[in-house]
Amino acid sequence: MDNFKIITTDANSSARRGLLKTGHGDVQTPVFMPIGTRGAVRGIIPELIEQAGARIMLANTYHLVLRPGVEVVEKLGGLHKFMAWDGPILTDSGGYQVFSLSTLNSLGDDGVEFASHIDGAKIYLDPKIATEAQNRLGADIIMCFDECVQLPCEKEQLEKAVQRTIRWAQQCKEAHNREDQMLFGIVQGGTDLEMRSYCAQSLAKMDFSGYAIGGLSVGEGFDDMVRTVEHTCPELPVDKPRYLMGVGTPMDIIAAVRAGVDMFDCCLPTRNGRNGTAFTSAGMLKMRNSKHIDDERPVDEVCDCYCCRKYSRAAIRHFFNVGEMLGPILLSLHNIRFYQKLMETIRQKIKADQFDSWAEEIIEKQKN
């Protein structure tokens, strides 16, 4: 099945518009996926997420294995029904938790034993277990189990992680047993371009449905991130979707689209929203600031989201300052809409063959 089609390419960069086909609907790319780690985007019902423009969501295998358990999700009709989301879903394999929960796990060549961050219970994940769990959860796109390293990283450790990632990817492919799910390989290698090439070329030979670039947005900085992505994208099959995991800011996304990336996810929109920070057309806005105490304006005067249509900055500030849960919900919803509008603009600029000059202007403005 041909799951991905390139519709338009930008004449002056590697940016491209595409159509990703899944069993739960088509997705226009470049696309940004809100994160519903444990089966929900915190505080926001799926209907509002869809109204904000999102067409595909992300959930996390490690966290769903912990609670409520794969068996429960399966018994209740699968992940789409469990999440009350009719659109496409992507599940991460739990590989990122090898990095983020490194103090709570024991890593070996065959897999990882976690001590649950909830109660310390032992949980083991390896390529076969992670793949079978995702097969049973029923997401449209599932990810290979991989090893993400802390940066900076010693050369020997990085080489071991890349070899492990390649070996595990082959084991994931062998374990994968659902034709209605796409399986993506994940390219690792830190900021070492030679390692990135080696990993990308090795995975490309396995013919996955798509390819992710992992192991970035872990403190390497904007310039190193862009350099790594610009180097890695040409190493991947041109006719398969490319997914940059965990990235990032609007400037990160624009730069990565220019390099040829099609898919993104990041916790920033909702995490910043819960913490009182809004993404706006005029830049970042701290909503707890006293200057908003009687401001009648919406968070962003050019935004069409529910928050901006119904509430003033003064009201949003008040909700945060009195601990009213509506504040974080509304601002998270606004930030999701901001990111979806960003992706809509990106797709429009590529279609009009105006993307490269627009992207250059945005990036230079943000860097200065």
Q: Which residues are catalytic?
A: 92, 265
Q: Are 145 and 94 in contact (CB under 8 A)?
A: yes
Cα–Cα distance measured from residue 305 to residue 13, given in angstroms and rounded to the nearest whole number: 31
String of DSSP letters for 9-32: E-TTSS-EEEEEEETTEEEEESEE
Residue that the structure tokens 């879903």 belong to? 89
| Beta strand 263-265 pairing with 242-244 | parallel
Helix or strand (DSSP H, E) at 238: none
d(CA 212, CA 265): 11
Torsion angle, alpha carbons of 303, 34, 138, 202, to 10: 130
Residue 9 pairs in a beta bridge with: 16
- Neighbouring residues of 132: CB distance < 8 A, sequence distance ≥ 6: 175, 177
